[in-house]
A and B are shown apart, each in its own frame.
Chain A
Amino acid sequence: MSEEKIGVYICHCGTNIAKVVDVEDVAEWAGNQPNVEVSREYKFMCSSLGQDLIEEDIKEKGLTRIVVSSCSPHMHEKTFRTACERGGLNPFMFEMANIREHDSWTTDDETAATQKAKALTNAAIERVVHHEALEQLPVEINPNTLVVGGGIAGITAALELADGGRHVYLVEREPSIGGHMAQLDKTFPTLDCSACILTPKMVDAGQHPNITLLTWSEVEKVDGFIGNFTVSIRKKARYVNEEHCTGCGICIEKCPFNVVDDIFEAGMGDRKVIYRPFPQAVPKYPVIDKENCVYFQKGKCKACEKFCPTEPNSIEFDQQDEILTVDVGNIILATGFQLFDSTKIPQYGYGRLPNVFTGIEFERMVNASGPTDGKIVLRDKKTAPKSVAIIHCVGSRDENYHKYCSKICCMYSLKFAHLVHERIPDAEVYNCYIDMRTPGKGYEEFYNRLLEEGTHFIRGKVAEVTNAARKPEEKGKLIVQVEDTLIGRQRRVPVDMVILSPAMEAQPDSKEISQLFKMGCDFDGFFTERHPKLDPVATMTDGILIAGACQGPKDVPDSVAQGAAAAARVAGLINLGTVMMEPVRASINQEDCSGCRICNNMCPYNAIVFHADRKVSEVITALCQGCGTCVAACPSGIISGAHFTNDQLFSQIEGILWDVRPEKELVSA
């Protein structure tokens, strides 16, 4: 053991660590620990110069083990292992101490942080002595990919991969792909017709020979790891046979019952009980809304079945949910967002004052194929408003709801203003904003255009929307109470219609989704990327990627870019064919195994077999995932968990308690 020469490197991480931890002190102290040959501190260990330090020291000083105290191993373990390898050392002769995420970022107490940094560094020093050279295990990558979510990000990712010749399973929980973009009329700042640019992509995805489209379906279970995931998908019963249905739509026409469409039409319009969310839906097969279907509830009707022209009949009232199992190598999550519920801010009157609308209601209203055929009207469905107020930041940039900026609201609020000007030329439009945020190609120009179109911009957060008139001219109007901070005065703006621009927020079940796929989501419910700047589409879990608004508020071009980026990452991995896996695996010393079989039932992967003839157990390496449960259970202590051996962990415990450990002789006494 005393033969070992350890190199210890303490990273400043700029000031991230050095501001709280006395890195010079830790480095000097580490230099006096047993086996430590060289101890240094450096500004950025992960920089190429920092890595060169390790490489050169290995070559020049003959180091046999390396310890780096810096950030989380989830961030840079790979970086430093590669540096060790370049220096000619087995990459597993390395150990990392996390003195940033687990130390300097969690306290201002310099003394305590420095002491903790020493403990973590010492734990690594004592552990690394017991490290063994290991070889990474190659794992084959299944070339099929699962994309979850059929909005614009998911569609883009699926098409990129499919066009490159790879098979994709595209899963969408709604009856059609398209996502939020399908609900929009125009897209900012170019004012492209949303459907005109989206539907061709939807059709491509629906007809692509390399895409298996699974709509009205949800992922139930995910097993496995990068390269080899097994995913169970619940294909909910549509009560329409997809093989026979031609999508003619006669059943929809003949269905005698209407219900309010809360999802696609945002409550602004009706749909039939057997329905497609919108005419260009992909796939074209309708779905029966069982909750509202008179046949399902009362046992009578069957109009859809009666009028279905196909032979055999496409309506199948006895259809059941199906569970499909697919094997994929990678998973791209593009599960999107939901809009903030505007009723949570009662002073804005949504749900109480009829002529207060949400942004998505307005989107449906101005859509030519929407419930009012594109006419902007009040709740009575006939009166055109003469004045409209648009309130920005509803639920965004607000301590009480979401602190973050939803990024898209300024632009879509400007788009609303433009659409009102376009459809009702003599209407007055007021945009009440906190700050105008228009970064993006052509976005600021769009804002300038609106300034010229005569929109009134009021800089101030709206306090209240009320119908309580104080003056005769306010009678019968909605009054927007707002402080105009540019003129320093309270204003009461009487208008006919108010449009709220709600925040983008994470899907209500994003936490469950993140747990299902075993990756992280932040406090707001958005999925956590591997690195916020340099790796925005990967997650901490290998083989799981994220794209679009599930990662954070995003507009269409950003979502498309992420969808394509995630696809490119997957395509690269598939091209490689194999990925190197951590050699963290268990093995049983066959000589010493007593054949007690306690470990046999411990293994969640059934990776341990018992040889009845020799009365010993053996781990099948290909099946072992390296959790170490069997290692902890073996009563003889003869199962070894590579890179997490008992020796390594005991030494780490001793090392981490360097300052409180009783004298050796006392312990042995």
Chain B
Amino acid sequence: MKHIDIDARGYYGRFGGAYIPEMLHGNVEQLRRSYREMTADPKFREEFDLLLKDYVGRPSPLYYAERLSKHYGTQVYLKREDLNHTGAHKINNTIGQILLAERLGKKRIIAETGAGQHGVATATVCALKGLQCIVYMGEVDIARQAPNVARMKMLGAEVRPALSGSRTLKDATNEAIRDWINNPEDTHYIIGSVVGPHPYPDMVARFQSVISEETKWQLQEKIGRDYPDAVVACVGGGSNAAGAFYHYLNDERVRLVAVEAAGLGVDSGESAATSQLGTEGIIHGSRTLLMQTEDGQIVEPYSISAGLDYPGIGPLHAFLIDSNRAEAISVTDADALAAALFVARQEGIIPALETAHAFAALDQMEYSADDVIVVCLSGRGDKDLAAFSSYLDSEPLK
């Protein structure tokens, strides 16, 4: 098969690139020229690996979920990114990018956030390195993710509300880009997912690739082979999926399953199932699949999960789905909530609402008894307790 990688211009097939105004060219070009070389430097690797080990707590366990396995009649392993410091996979990327920003001599860090997990992970590494941190967050998200707003402030970050458009993740991203245009010299923009102009999608995927790198040797230890039959991960922009898939992209023995948020249902008009509802276009500097009108106006998606309601999808995922290397499954709010409750009671693990979508996909998949399925447990569910509580109140307990 064809080797899957990004080309020199930042394209996976016809997806990707850097559709940015000239005002961003200098910064993006500086990153493009330096990110591979800098991250390949042994000193960088050493510092990155040490922080992942001692600060983040890696390697994250690969846990054999016995009761889920019994329930589904297959072998289910959970890659426990929820056990990372700050409670999600997001920190893998922010550690990498803060080390890059330091080497680029940047003094000021900006980020966008939806659910607040990336904002918290960014505020955390800025505190760690003593750098100024400004997080853009939609006004609507600030209201519905209050605990994470408090965490960012506790860590010394300034949370700036995005007041434009629909006042959610897409608009927070626009505001962050605008900030970067206005502050081209001292500022680094830490994008939280495998989206944005080249080199971000590739850079973030590489920082997150530690997930599948560990999965390989952990599987080798546990089952005597270093690959599973399927990897299942939720996809908003797609950073945990990119990391969980990364070292299996070219291994066709492994099914790659990208789980999207269907919201109230794919055809309900309230959905974030980008691969089904999206068409090819440009969002935040990247050519990919996105939800838009006939006139090319970007549509605001919907999901109960603030981390999955992004109108686009990373260009790597657009390529994987378009070329049938990955399969896309969509999961509704209701199924995700039910799956979260089920996993909590089967395994004693409360997953994030985003991750709950990946669990719910197991109900839609077919597999045999000896198949090995790795689910990327991207984050823990503490931030979603309000949603879970109201679900518990409405759902008669069995």
The judgment on whether A and B are partners is no
- B residues sitting closer than 8 Å to A (CB atoms) are none
